[in-house]
Amino acid sequence: MPLTPIYNFSAGPAVLPESVLRTAQSEMFDYNGTGFSVMTMSHRSDVFASILYHAEQDLRQLMEIPDNYKVLFLQGGASAQFNQVVMNFAEGFKRVDSVVTGNWSQIAHSQMGKLSDCTIHLAADGREFHYQNLPPVSSWDIDKDSAFVHFVINETVHGLQYREVPKLESGMPPLICDMSSEILSRKINVSDFGVIYAGAQKNIGPSGATIVIIREDLLERCSDRVPDVWNYKSHVEKQGMYNTPATYPIYIAGLVFRWLQSHGGVEQMETINTLKAKTLYSAIDGSGGFYQNHVHPGARSKMNVIFTTGDAYLDELFAQESTTRGLQLLRGYKSMGGMRASIYNAMPLQGVEALIDFMKEFQRRYG
């Protein structure tokens, strides 16, 4: 182990709990007495079937997923879902409503129309707030006859998050949410959504698996014209085994789900995440302007905290010097500059405190 603790602030692939990594290490060559690794295990073996089953059941327990929702572990990342939701759910509809609040929802908006004849309608656009605040749900321009409403609940690049989870009134289209960077970080009501999807590499496990949670009745929209590999219904009918799933990422995800259960579940994670975010934002706001976060306080992400000194040279110096203190991958997104601290479930409070100590020291030297 290094003398200086290493804290990984990457936005993804992101930090994983140390105990999960140690369990994976101990089971690398011999999983549960089988004599071989999960990496080399047939996805159709009884052993892997058990891994997949328990991962799904643990996720259902953690998120309180109702019985009328199906859970899939797919590949392609969240970005693949930008097209897949349209292919499966928009046939026969004239319009999809799309809420743009930052980088990833903008990409989703631009991609959704590429494989559909329906109009991808801009229901709300955060550009009017310079992506420093979020358009309230009451302002979304939604047609009740739209195929669905798509939004990203937490924008990793711009550091924005809907603190109050959006919910649509009865009779409105299904709500489809990219929850990649905040899934399992706080309690949500799954029944408020038609579909939730999330890339695993932020709060769940390594890259390679994508969680998709689908309200069962929506599967009737999945046309046979959609190729089976992209067809949700085909994957559900094959119990997630239409093709080879990402076996090792699913195994790690299962270990993370068990880690979450042993640490008080989602409710306890929400308490800890709120404390971590409050502590870090207080340090930024209390720096006398040396550090700045321009996001409206009510829209600040609890997962991805962006900040800057306002000086590109100092920002780069901060990113470089922080690594010598074991504070890794704090450089901001390429289009944003500055710094970004991603403080997902597996980031301990001690990591945030270590970052704040360095921030204070850096300000004393350069402020």
Q: Catalytic residue, from 70, 202, 233, 302: name it.
A: 202
Residue corresponding to tokens 């038609």 = 194
Q: Catalytic residue, from 58, 70, 97, 104: name it.
A: 104
Q: Quick check: is 217 catalytic?
A: no
| Strands annotated E in the chain | 7-8, 69-74, 95-100, 119-125, 149-152, 154-155, 160-161, 175-178, 195-199, 210-215, 304-307, 327-328, 339-342
Q: 214: which strand partners?
A: 70, 195
Q: Quick check: is 70 catalytic?
A: no
Q: Quick check: is 202 catalytic?
A: yes
Identify whether the C-beta of residue 195 lies closer than 8 Å to the C-beta of residue 219.
no
Identify whether the C-beta of residue 83 lies closer than 8 Å to the C-beta of residue 114.
yes
Q: Which letter, b or e, does each residue of 209-248 get, where b requires 16 or more Cβ atoms within 10 Å of its Cβ?
A: bbbbbbbeebbebbeeebeeebbbbbbbeeebebeebbbb
Q: What is the dihedral angle through the alpha carbons of 227, 98, 301, 165, rounded to the nearest 10 degrees?
A: -90
Q: Catalytic residue, from 70, 178, 276, 302: name it.
A: 178
Angle at 216 between CA 344 and CA 219, to 5 degrees: 105
Q: 305: which strand partners?
A: 341
User: Of 90, 91, 5, 53, which is closest to residue 323 (Cα–Cα)?
Assistant: 5
Identify whether the C-beta of residue 98 lies closer than 8 Å to the C-beta of residue 122.
yes
Which active-site residues does the annotation give? 104, 178, 202
